[in-house]
Amino acid sequence: MKTSAQSSALYTIEQEANAIANLKNFIDDSFDKAVNAIRHASGRVVITGIGKSAIVAQKIVATLNSTGTPSLFMHAADAIHGDLGMIQEKDVVIILSKSGESDEIKVLVPLIKNAGNIIIAIAGNNVSFLAQHADIFLNTTVSKEACPNNLAPTSSTTAQMVMGDALAVCLMQLNGFDSNDFAKFHPGGNLGKRLYLRVNDIYKMNGSPSVKEDVLFKDVIFSISDGRLGATVVLNDNKKITGIITDGDIRRLFEKTDDVKHLKASEISKANPKTILNTALAVEALEKMNSNSITQLIVVDEQDSYLGFIHLHDLIREGII
């Protein structure tokens, strides 16, 4: 049986999920007009609102900026007390409001229209002052707030946020904004590292243990121990990779026999070891390790020459995992 808290949480989630699902009914020609107005504007996108809508506006600004659409936030109350100068001639203005009837909005809209800027309204009332006076109206009407008193902005602000995300994602796709562009705007933190950090940036901190094919078992052990990577590469006389020997291979060998002193590296090694280009993204190395259930990869260049190792611990240290 659900507790009262759990039931309340489930009710809230259901109400807000319904509000989001209903937005599909409001995606029409107006949405196309809004996207085109933003995409073809020679200025920026200025987003404004009052109350909770102002907070949502800040989030949409952050999303647009991080996905390649220059945007800035202007609080509606501050706008009519001096901040209106933030809006430049070619800017597109997005105004968020649940009711579309706030006093600040009613003062602000004529001022913006007189300046000749395009106004896109994101509002939950299609007969409101804002909806009627905007150049483009995006409907975010909700049938009911998740608030049990149907008062606190909950479902309505969620709907506004999702409409903003829909605009941002659409603009990303139309502008060809890809992961490389995204990385330029997110250079910090683990997210940024996943987008720009390459194997070449990491493997050089490790050694590059290797042995020749004809060395004896004792030298293989020394190479693995000295490298501290749990493995060593086997190279032929032309310094090309012919195999790999891991500490796991050594343990499995001892399970079969104790007579190992006479064995050569070529007799112990596994052929066709997993490699990765030094220019590959670090996250690609992680995916390859996961898919092959291994903890290290041999790093090679485009000529397949041996460079070193990248280990799972390197990726953990860098925050890729």
Largest CA distance in the chain: 92
Question: Rounded to whole angstroms, how far apart are CA atoms 156 and 97?
Answer: 9
Q: Is 75 part of any known ligand binding site?
A: yes
DSSP 91-142: -EEEEEESSS--HHHHHHHHHHHHTT-EEEEEES-TTSHHHHHSSEEEE---
Neighbours of 184 (CB within 10 A): 11
* Identity of residue 155: S
Q: Are 108 and 76 in contact (CB under 8 A)?
A: yes
Nearest alpha carbon to residue 194 among 42, 37, 111, 315: 315
Give exposure, 32-52, as e/b (b: 16+ Cβ within 10 Å): ebbbebbeebeebbbbbbbbb
Tokens encoding 166: 């829909």
CA distances to 38, 88, 104, 144 from 140, rounded to whole Å, are: 19, 27, 20, 12
Question: Rounded to whole angstroms, how far apart are CA atoms 245 and 150?
Answer: 67
Q: Are 183 and 291 in contact (CB under 8 A)?
A: no
Known binding residues are: 75
- Annotated binding-site ranges for Zn(2+): 75
